Amino acid sequence: MKRKAQMQMMETFMVLLVFFILLAIGIYYYFQFSAKNIEETGQEVAILSGTTLLSVVSSMPELQCSIRAREEGGCLDAAKMTIAVEKGLFSTEDYKPLFDKKRVYVNTTYPKEAFISNKCLDNLAYKTPGCGLWILKDYQFKKGKRAVSTPVSIYYPDKGQFMAGKLVIEVSS
Amino acid sequence: MGKKGVADPVFVYIFALVAGMIILFFFLSFSMKHKGTANLMESGELASGMDNSLAAFSALGQGEKEFEFPFETELFIDPGSVGAKSGAKQFSKPTRSIIYSPKSLKGKKVAAWTIRWKAPFSITNFFYLTTDKDRYFIVYGNDHSNFASNFMKEEIPDKIKPSNKLFGMNEFSALKAAIRASPPTANLKVIIFGDDVKAAVNNQLSEFNGKYSVVEIIPLEEPEDNFEYDFGYVQFEGEAKRAYIGRPMMYGGMIAENAEYYDYSYTQAMDRLRNVTQIYTEKIRYIKAVGNCPQTGYNSIEGLLSQLQSDSEESPESVVVSKFMNNIKAVEDMNKDIMGAGCQALF
């Protein structure tokens, strides 16, 4: 009889053990699935905020060009961008909520020949920090990154000239 | 029951009860934690979504819109952060947006309005948020009747308008009726234009004491009884006067939760003013060498920008509004003069 009771106890424990093993496997896969979902949501949010940022950056008074006291949409002022880069403006605490963990830059796409080595604009001011490339906010991505971009026009106030460019925002993927 | 080795049924029942309770507790705590996480994610998405929407909204420069939620939602606007509450979980996200609103926005709809703040060049966007639970009663003195009617007709956008009601000095019975008709949970604010109105409001609305808050707008007085509504002071109950620079900041004073929230937004706005002014000061060196333009205009505007910088460093309680106003106007005039001389404008 003692043996029978032990068997009964063992059975109960085995049932419980199997139940908990199955439960643990279920929970493990459930959490893996949830974690993947959260990661995907995070990526979607990052891409969405990058896309939002494209329109925000191109209309920021700190960068937007104004011609004869009239603001131009989708147009960035080359002088303002150069100053912002020199001052490291967008790496300051004030801009952190907007630019945190993002790399933001503008490059000229046309005309290309104007920005090759010594053929950079003769105004030496634009040679720093680079000819036709403004890294407004730098960030070193530990994992992968994804980029969103939009075409912009770049206005050189000292020349009164426009050039075509691209505003690029990189977010982690 | 004297048989050795036979499991006592009572023991089996107790064992089953304990095991059942453990399993039940496990599932309950799991589901509670899951609910908590889901609520936190939901409030996080709401707060982030709101912040992103406001940022995207600012790209328009000026506009109004209504945020609609599928269920009753509570948003919290604190200095420097946007928060949302779902279930028992609250999530706050730092924001760069300068938001004027009551501290708590509860409802299925939030009306939003944005305009660009200029001094005299564009600095940043201000956002104004209200719900249908917020009621603003604007009471104006006789000297301000023209402004008040234009203000409601032309300046306040349609989506914000339902929260605002306008009353003249002889319309206190209508004002009392409007206060009585407001829901008990409504956030009531009386906005005063005119010295003579303040005492009258205190007398006439004494029966509603504690149910509403008061904010007084004191525009700068010009000769011949004219008022400069773009610049002046805003005074919250029991607080010292604070400066407002530009009409968008005046609207901010009308909507802001209290003096502390107003001061935070003022400081944020002035930080941005300094950033943009610094950029324009540096930009002068790029454009002053162009063509045969006289250097005097650029030198003068450089000096004025430096004065704007120092004005922006003052606190809202200590800044001299008339001086600030004159500097802003002088920068604008000087830019026009530079343009008029056929030279490259600064902005």
Question: CA-CA distance, A173 to A47, in Å (whole number)?
Answer: 8
Closest Cα partner for B56 from A55, A147, A61, A64?
Answer: A55
CA dist A16 → A25, A28, B13, B30 (Å): 14, 18, 15, 18
Q: For residues A84 and B276, what is the distance between their CA atoms, to the nearest angstrom? A: 10
Q: Distance (Å) from the C-alpha of residue B223 to the closest C-alpha of chain A?
A: 30
Minimal CA separation from A173 to chain B, in Å:
18
Q: How far is A52 from chain B (nearest CA, A)?
A: 5
Task: Note whether A53 contacts B55, CB cutoff 8 Å.
Answer: yes
Q: Which residue ranges of chain A lie beneath pLDDT 70?
A: 1-2, 112-130
Q: What is the pLDDT of residue A48?
A: 85
Which ranges of chain B have pLDDT less than 50? 1
- The rounded distance, in Å, linking the Cα atoms of B264 and B266 is 5
Q: How many angstroms separate the CA atoms of B82 and B51, rounded?
A: 7
pTM of the predicted model as reported, rounded to 2 decimal places: 0.86
Distance (Å, whole) CA B91 – CA B44: 5
Note the pLDDT of residue A128: 44
Q: Identify the pLDDT of residue B125.
A: 96
ipTM associated with this complex: 0.83
- Structure confidence by residue, pLDDT tens digits, B117-175: 999 999 999 999 999 899 999 999 988 988 888 887 788 888 887 778 889 988 999 99
Mutate to test the interface with A, among B4, B13, B282 (most CBs of A within 10 A): B282
Q: Cβ–Cβ of B283/A67 closer than 8 Å?
A: no
Per-residue model confidence (pLDDT) at position A116: 43
Instruction: Give the pLDDT score at B3.
Output: 57
Provide, as residue numbers in chain A, all residues whose Cβ is less than 8 Å from the Cβ of B52: 48-49, 52
Which is it for strands B89-94 and B104-118: parallel, antiparallel or unpaired? unpaired
Separation between Cα atoms, residue A130 and residue A126, nearest integer Å: 7
Which chain A residues have a beta carbon less than 8 Å from that of B271? 94
CB-CB neighbours of B318 under 10 Å: 9
Nearest to B123 among A12, A55, A61 (CB): A61
Contacts of B96 in chain A (CB under 8 A): 94-95, 97-98
Q: Do A160 and B344 touch (CB under 8 A)?
A: yes
In chain B, the residue whose alpha carbon lies closest to the alpha carbon of A65 is B347
Task: Reply yes or no: is the peptide bond before residue A129 cis, omega within 30 of 0.
Answer: yes
Contact A172/A46 with Cβ under 8 angstroms?
yes
Q: Where are the strands (E) in A1-128, listed by range?
A: 64-67, 70-77, 102-110
* Contact between chains at A69 and B95 (C-beta distance less than 8 A): no
Contact: B96, A49; criterion CB under 8 Å: no
Phi, psi dihedral angles at A52 (to 5 degrees): -60, -40
The nearest alpha carbon in chain A to B116 belongs to A61
Q: What is the mean pLDDT of chain B?
A: 90
| CA within 13 Å, CB half, B81 | 10
> Looking at residue B37, what is its pLDDT?
81
B162: alpha, beta or left? (left if phi > 0; alpha if psi -120 to 50) = alpha
What single string gives the DSSP state of each residue in B143-203? GGHHHHHHIIIIIS-TTTGGGEEEE-TT-HHHHHHHHHHS-TT-EEEEEEESHHHHHHHHH
Q: Which residues of A touch B116 (CB under 8 A)?
A: 61
Contacts of A23 (CB under 8 A, 6+ apart): none
pLDDT of residue A16: 82
A5 vs B5, B41, B122: nearest CB: B5
pLDDT of A119 reads: 46
Q: Is B48 left (phi over 0), alpha (psi -120 to 50) or beta?
A: alpha
From A44, which residue of chain B is nearest by alpha-carbon distance?
Answer: B45
Q: Looking at residue A120, what is its pLDDT? A: 54
